[in-house]
Structure 1
Amino acid sequence: MKYYLGVDGGGSKTYVLIADELGRIVGKGRSGNGNHQVDREGARRNIREAVDMAMADAELTREQIAFACFGLAGADREADYRILRPMIAELGFARHDIHCDTIIAMRAGTDRPYGVVLICGSGTNSAGRSPAGESLQVGGFTYATGDFGGGGALAVEAFRAVIRAWDGREPQTALTPLVLAEMGYASVAEMFDDCLDRDRQPPLGLAKLLFEAAAGGDAAAIDILRRQGEELGKQASAVIRRLGMEQETFDVVMAGSILTRGQGDYVHAEIRRAVAAAAPNAAVKKLAVEPVVGALWMAYEADGPLPRQAYETLKDAAEFEAI
């Protein structure tokens, strides 16, 4: 019996799954931050802890793992891989590979080994993998390097909309009472002064208020969400063009809380419009399982074709809240 290991190392948690060649999960592990950009030594410890936990749960040795796939946040550039290659090699798996966590999220959302992924959670990112196996990332760094959006930026946009309506630069918005209630102020003037005096930044929770206000027809909220969709559509289109996938049939996988849990169609509609123009045969869909499952499928594929039984078994078993 062969066994495969998949890792999803993110900024807040690290998940590990081990499955046999039939797709049956035999080991699970969980730990904290797995992003070396956040804390290099902490990420090293947490990844090892989660891997060791899964190995012990499965009662396996390193030699029994046919292939291990690591999907890691912060695996963005060659400078990152120079840090990550020796870190992962220390774990003792003879056959393993490292990918950015965007790629395993893409793989988890499609039944093909190629496609495009858009991530919009606290921040944004996009990536793709062509049928030939070429990978590409677009964005995922900072506003100064071209990015826009994600929960953090959308929270700022909601806050700004309230300020601009208060001082007369824009029409009144339904965001005003929602933001005041969320931040605990009685008036915009009080909020304005207190945030300036204490250098208080808009909390991430303001992002969800955009969907509530948009559902009621608020123009400011709708405009912000549509702009987010337009920007994500541009990211997807750039990945598609640069990988030469305009005529391919594939999925564009949407991941992250803004895309998977946000209400309404304001963001999604703009993404679909951009994708349809760039690649008419592509389909846009939401990620439905944990990204760590994508790492597992990629481990199988590194060892040979992914068995259909393993794909179906893992897909059916993978809709869990915690490991």
Structure 2
Amino acid sequence: MTGGTVGAGEDAPASGVVVAVDGGGSKTDAVALTLDGELVAHRRGPGSSPHFEGLGASVALVDGLVQHVAGEHPVAHAGLYLSGLDLPLEIEQYAGAIAGLGWAARAVVENDLYALLRAGTDAPDAVAVVCGTGVNAIGVRADGAVVRFPALGPLSGDWGGGSGLGEAVLWHAARAVDGRGPDTVLVEEIERRLGVASVPQLIEELHFGRRDSSELTALAPAVFGAARAGDGVAIALVDRQAEEIAAFARASLTRLGLLDRAVPVVLGGGIAQSGDERLLDGIRVRLAEAAPRARLSVVLSAPIVGAALLSLAAAGAGTAALERARAAVAAAAAEAAVLVP
């Protein structure tokens, strides 16, 4: 694995806890574990993506979570897997920003896609695609080759996730209201879900900064419900999302030369995990056209499970410890999802 390593030349202490952090656009999970895989503490906080929060705010949030879960224990190793660290420079900047923190002497900084990938598979050849707030992917090969994407939104050719779907809903609704586009039940969904009297009112409030465009992500679930009810606009959006996810996987396999291999392709993120049949069937059909032996699956385990496994392995934990940690962290994350959705 590539990534930013802080204080790599120092020996790890003989005792202490291993801390793992998985940070996304909407939430951040942190766990502390013993080297035997026993869960010491788990804490969930708000999103920590430096793309959305800024570098300083992200570091402050992660620092607080690490200190909370570590408590009085020294940190033998810390693995930080965060969304928004898509370019090598961003990883270097983050590693530099945490370098002065007491627990960061033995830390690895990487993109959260590694955590999703490890939560879904330990295969040496594999691809992971996340479709949550945004979309991104990673592909790895047994010889160490890695495929990554800038994931900078429209600037780098990305579309979809909760953010992209929400913006598309408003785009189509605006055209439906003024007659430029077909009618769609998504107009009523906007009014109901965002509590506005009309689509033009929402557009005005967004334009003058009285509301934030991030609120549009709340519209994503409406797309799948409307598609199941037969709404033509919603159906087209679901199909477009399926094509975008398949395109990430297809491109990863192509660049790694693995199109003819039985490679696991794991999907994560709220959109992918919604279980929508049209979306998943669409991805499966499109991917099979280029990579008929690819094995598509949805990762139901929280990415913090993968972050914990990667961090423990980096600290030298054995197989039994990894299995113990998988069960304990998965249970803690599931409980947190109920208490703090």
TM range (shorter): 0.7 to 0.9
- Separation in 1, partners of 2:112, 2:85: 7
Gaps of 5+ in 2: 1-13
Shift of 1:159: 2.5
- Separation in 2, partners of 1:24, 1:194: 49
State the match for 1:124 in structure 2.
Answer: 135
Q: Does 1:147 align with 2:158?
A: yes
Alpha carbons of structure 1 residues 72 and 160: separation in structure 2 relative to 1, 3 Å: closer
State the match for 1:231 in structure 2.
Answer: 244
Kindly provide the CA deviation profile for residues 108-134 of structure 1, in whole angstroms up to 9, marking residues without a partner as x.
122435522212122211122222233
State the match for 1:290 in structure 2.
Answer: 302
Shift of 1:224: 0.8
Does 311-320 or 209-218 show the bigger shift?
311-320
Structural mapping, 1:241-320, within 5 Å: 241-261=254-274, 264-303=276-315, 307-317=318-328, 318-319=330-331, 320=334
- TM-score scaled by length of structure 1: 0.84
Contact 1:12 1:32 in 2 (8 A): yes
- Separation in 1, partners of 2:262, 2:318: 21
Structural mapping, 1:47-58, within 5 Å: 47-56=62-71
Shift of 1:94: 4.8
Contact 1:126 1:139 in 2 (8 A): no
Q: Does 1:110 align with 2:124?
A: no
Structural mapping, 1:158-169, within 5 Å: 158-169=169-180
Q: Does 1:135 align with 2:146?
A: yes
Kindly provide the CA deviation profile for residues 187-233 of structure 1, in whole angstroms up to 9, marking residues without a partner as x.
xxx53366247626573222211111111122221111101110111
State the match for 1:17 in structure 2.
Answer: 31
Query: Out of 36, 39, 60, which is 1:45 matched to?
Result: 60
- Separation in 1, partners of 2:162, 2:19: 31
Contact 2:30 2:65 in 1 (8 A): yes
What is the identity, as a one-letter code, of the residue corresponding to 1:214? A
Shift of 1:164: 3.0
State the match for 2:200 in structure 1.
Answer: 192
Contact 1:128 1:137 in 2 (8 A): yes
State the match for 1:84 in structure 2.
Answer: 94
Contact 1:107 1:295 in 2 (8 A): yes
Q: What is the root-mean-square deviation in Å for CA atoms of aligned residues?
A: 2.8
Q: Secondary structure at the match of 1:203?
A: helix
What is the identity, as a one-letter code, of the residue corresponding to 1:280? P
Count of aligned pairs = 313
What is the identity, as a one-letter code, of the residue corresponding to 2:130? I
Kindly provide the CA deviation profile for residues 224-248 of structure 1, in whole angstroms up to 9, marking residues without a partner as x.
1101110111111111211233244
- Separation in 1, partners of 2:203, 2:216: 11
What is the identity, as a one-letter code, of the residue corresponding to 1:284? L
- Separation in 1, partners of 2:196, 2:42: 45
- Separation in 1, partners of 2:196, 2:143: 55
- Separation in 1, partners of 2:78, 2:308: 8
Alpha carbons of structure 1 residues 155 and 302: separation in structure 2 relative to 1, 3 Å: same
Q: Secondary structure at the match of 1:83?
A: helix
Alpha carbons of structure 1 residues 206 and 115: separation in structure 2 relative to 1, 3 Å: same
Alpha carbons of structure 1 residues 11 and 182: separation in structure 2 relative to 1, 3 Å: closer
Query: Out of 85, 96, 101, which is 2:107 matched to?
Result: 96
- TM-score scaled by length of structure 2: 0.80
Shift of 1:275: 2.8
Contact 2:196 2:202 in 1 (8 A): no
